[in-house]
Amino acid sequence: MDPIVIPDEPRGLDSSDRKFPPEYDGHFDRLLITREEIKDRANALADLIHKDYKGKRPVLLCVLKGANNFYMHLSEALQDLCQGFYTEFLRVSSYDGLNSTGMLEIGGGLKYKDIEGKDVILVEDIVDTGHTLFNLLPVLKSEAKPLSVECCTLLSKRLDKPAHYSAKYVGFTIPNHFVIGFGLDYNELYRDLQDIWVISQKGIDFDQSTMH
Ligand code: HPA
Ligand code: MG
């Protein structure tokens, strides 16, 4: 099943009923994807995964911190389908603010033996340049020797040049803007939003030291 395409042009979503902390006022250019749309899409992705992994127990490997929110939705949807799975967590960061630093830090206490010989589904918030997965996957494959590895990402950014990696399960493809919310951050802010938004210049310029 193809991903849902979020078009480049604004869809004119009504954002007046959206909830967010007051300190974020003015930090968004537009509402990009609602939490209701995310939930529906997580259910559809769980259906796909269930079709492919019926009778197996894949390891759902959550890439922290960003994928946490999506992971919860996806695992609930898999539970509804009586699909068994293991849960593991891994922490990587390759972003510093808006720019890919080119550096990948892997941590979070994942023990390679926990995924050895197992079918692994990496759960990601976003595939942007694909840099993270392009660098992470070879390490995982050679160090942990899983039986198989696929990636399930909530978002995939449409870029001018082809990404380094494309995921098997993709929730939405999105325009080339910096997006925040539903786990996705900008300098550790905005993970606490229920919906996904495009950040505004005011959000980018915001001085966190003014907050308590
Ligand atoms: N938003 C938040 N985090 C990200 C993005 C983005 O657009 N791309 C890669 N990491
Ligand atoms: Mg980040």
Task: Give residues with Cβ within 8 angstroms of 28, minimum separation 6.
Answer: 15, 180, 197, 198, 199, 200, 203
Domain span holding position 108: 38-176
54, part of any domain: yes
Helical residues (DSSP H) of 54-190, grouped into ranges: 68-80, 131-144
Dihedral over Cα of 82, 88, 94, 99: its sign: positive
Between vectors from CA 44 to CA 4 and to CA 135, what angle results, nearest 5°? 70
Q: Tell me the best of 95, 125, 135, 158 to mutate to test the pocket of ligand 1, counting ligand atoms within 8 Å of each CB and taking the most.
A: 95
CB of residue 199 inside a 6 A radius of ligand 1:
no
pLDDT of residue 81: 98
By C-alpha distance, which of 14, 22, 13, 26 is closest to 192? 22
pLDDT at 146 over 70: yes
What is the pLDDT confidence band of residue 210, given thresholds at 50, 70 and 90?
confident
Q: Tell me the best of 184, 185, 195 to mutate to test the pocket of ligand 1, counting ligand atoms within 8 Å of each CB and taking the most.
A: 184
Residues 96-101: what's their mean pLDDT? Answer: 57
pLDDT of residue 31: 98
68 touches 62 (CB < 8 A): yes
Ligand 2 (ion): which residues have CB within 5 A?
A: 95, 185
ipTM exceeding cut-off 0.90 for this assembly: yes
By C-alpha distance, which of 200, 198, 193, 191 is closest to 174? 198
pLDDT at 91 over 80: yes
pLDDT of residue 162: 79
Reply yes or no on whether 114 is catalytic: no
The CATH number linked to 143 is: 3.40.50.2020
SS3 167: coil
Residues 134-158: what's their mean pLDDT? Answer: 95
Q: What is the total count of domains within the chain?
A: 1
pLDDT at 132 over 80: yes
pLDDT of residue 163: 77
